[in-house]
């Protein structure tokens, strides 16, 4: 079988080996594939792997040899799963590979908001500590997490990991999941979304992108938040109404926000969040630690091997 990876660069920019893939036989990888070349490059492949390259129904219809689509991510909204299933194509994803890495960035955002590490370091380097009459100095108050309320919308693997870290910091944790599991730790309270927006000091979103969550964080929900609250989104960009969030931040109605994702990536047409006050933005890198990419590479390869062996795993179609 011929295997083609259409956008290999983000998973492996050159610091991971490809030897496991090459042992599959006929293997071709492209760092990036523009949409006009997707059909051409995948035309002879039975197995295609993608990260952000979109496999629409019209693309799938032009690939009669295609038997398998492997998504190099957990979210698989880049694939028209219904069209793939109708065409007899197996679609798989890679669950849980980035759980620890994403949770780590969530708290990097939260701790930066609380401690202002970058700000204080910059001021020290400018000489502010050298000229201080005291052993310390204060530019802005810092915040202790213990006793604060952490709201977690979406209690999948990542949401639960974030909740566990919050609990370890001594935070009160309240979460929402459409179908919560029967067994939950005693320290984790379940509440409606509106209640979480109203009560959270820190609110972090870990829900999938669906018609119901596009957008979930809108002007209505933002209006419920405390003026001291801090919002984090590391899920999908369209989960947030960017203009509504920018308006909220610029008006000072919440204390700040941090996003690792935007509605358009890269934001070549701009985003209101790029110029919003008190908004931390990183370029969709929560998933991309080397450790997480190693796991992603390994599981994606095992997914393909399982499919070839006739025993597919991590199937989402």
Active site residues: 236, 265, 284
Is residue 134 classed as helix, strand or coil in its secondary structure? coil
Cis-peptide, bond into residue 215, ω within 30° of zero:
yes
Sheet holding 149-153, edge to edge: 188-190, 172-176, 149-153, 202-205, 230-233, 256-259, 279-281
Q: Which two tokens mark 224?
A: 């419920």
Say if CB 101 and CB 289 are below 8 A apart: yes
222 vs 254: CA distance, rounded Å: 8
Task: Give kind and range of the element (H or E) at residue 243.
Answer: helix 242-250
Say if CB 237 and CB 261 are below 8 A apart: yes
């Amino acid at each position: 079988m011929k295997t083609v990876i259409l956008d290999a660069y983000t998973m492996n920019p050159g610091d991971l080996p490809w030897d496991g893939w090459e042992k599959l036989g006929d293997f071709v990888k492209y760092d990036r594939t523009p949409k006009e070349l997707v059909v051409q490059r995948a035309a002879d492949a039975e197995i295609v792997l993608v990260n952000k390259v979109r496999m629409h129904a019209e693309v799938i219809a032009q690939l009669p040899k295609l038997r398998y689509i492997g998504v190099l991510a957990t979210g698989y909204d880049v694939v028209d799963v219904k069209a793939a299933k109708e065409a007899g194509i197996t679609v798989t994803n890679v669950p849980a590979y980035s759980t620890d890495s994403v949770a780590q960035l969530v708290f990097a955002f939260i701790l930066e908001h609380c401690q202002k590490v970058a700000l204080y370091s910059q001021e020290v380097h400018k000489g502010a500590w050298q000229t201080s009459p005291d052993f310390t100095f204060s530019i802005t108050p810092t915040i202790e997490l213990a006793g604060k309320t952490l709201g977690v919308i979406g209690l999948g693997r990542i949401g639960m990991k974030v909740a566990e870290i919050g609990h370890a910091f001594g935070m009160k944790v309240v979460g929402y999941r459409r179908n919560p599991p029967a067994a939950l730790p005693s320290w984790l309270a379940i509440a409606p979304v509106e209640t979480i927006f109203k009560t959270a000091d820190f609110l972090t979103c870990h829900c999938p992108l669906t018609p119901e969550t596009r957008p979930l964080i809108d002007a209505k929900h933002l209006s419920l938040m405390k003026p001291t609250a801090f919002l984090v989104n590391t899920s999908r960009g369209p989960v947030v109404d960017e203009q509504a969030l920018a308006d909220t931040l610029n008006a000072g109605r919440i204390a700040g926000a941090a996003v690792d994702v935007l509605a358009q990536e890269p934001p070549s047409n701009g985003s209101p969040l790029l110029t919003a006050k008190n908004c931390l933005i990183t370029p969709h890198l929560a998933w991309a630690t080397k450790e997480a990419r190693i796991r992603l590479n390994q599981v994606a390869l095992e997914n393909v091997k399982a499919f070839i062996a006739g025993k597919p795993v991590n199937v989402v179609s």
